[in-house]
Homo-oligomer: A and B are copies of this chain.
Amino acid sequence: MPVQFDLHALLQMEGRKRATLINKVAGYKTANLIGTRSAGGVDNLAIFNSVVHIGANPPFLGFILRPTSVERHTYENLKETGVYTINMVTEGIHREAHRTSGKFPEEVSEFEACGLQPWYLEGFAAPFVADSPVKLGLSFVEAHTLACNGTRLVVGQIEHLVLPEDALAPDGDIDLEALGAVAIGGLDTYYRGVKLGRYGYFRPGESLREIP
């Protein structure tokens, strides 16, 4: 039987229950570690489930920053240095990745505290995650603060992309399942993926074409 909640019922719900529910209603989300460095030289790393595609030419990605203290470190750092990294979370590092959601003192690097190794690209002032198979280095482009609750959309341009050569197909496809990528449910549950199918661009009147 379906159960139905209207806005009033959602607002009446106990706070943690509502937060868990609303974070999960949209389904599986992206799982990425965002790396920054403070003006004082401390590396920062935090998990995000909100990276979105903004454009391919030029290559832009966005992510959502909640107005919390953990995420504020990321924003202050990327505004100061102008750069940040986005690193794919895999099955092999998902427990370490989850640990970065804790609240660490500003002078502590989450890399060390959570058991992840940093990796650096010469001339790029933000740390990558060594064990992450897909590493992106971005430069800050623009940010928009929402009137409704102070949440921010941050947009950056991809300046560097590092990935395993054998993970990249000639047509640009990446085999996420082979890389061990994970998806997040809400803020706390991690999943690996099992491919159902890849499909061609659909033209009305034709049948759906599966790409092997």
Contacts and interface: CB of A to CB of B under 8 A. Distances in A.
Given A1-B165, A165-B2, A55 B101 contact: no
B163 A103 contact: no
A162 B1 CA distance: 10
Counted per complex, copies of this chain come to 2
Contacts of A176: 24, 27-28, 185, 189, 191
Contact of A196 (B59, B141, B186, B191): B191
Interface in A122-172: 134, 136, 141-142, 144, 146-149, 151, 153, 155, 157-165, 168, 170-172
26 contacts: A6-B160, A11-B58, A16-B171, A18-B57, A20-B172, A20-B173, A21-B161, A22-B56, A22-B158, A24-B172, A25-B136, A26-B32, A27-B30, A27-B89, A28-B182, A29-B52, A30-B30, A60-B148, A62-B153, A95-B199, A98-B199, A99-B202, A103-B204, A148-B157, A189-B197, A190-B197
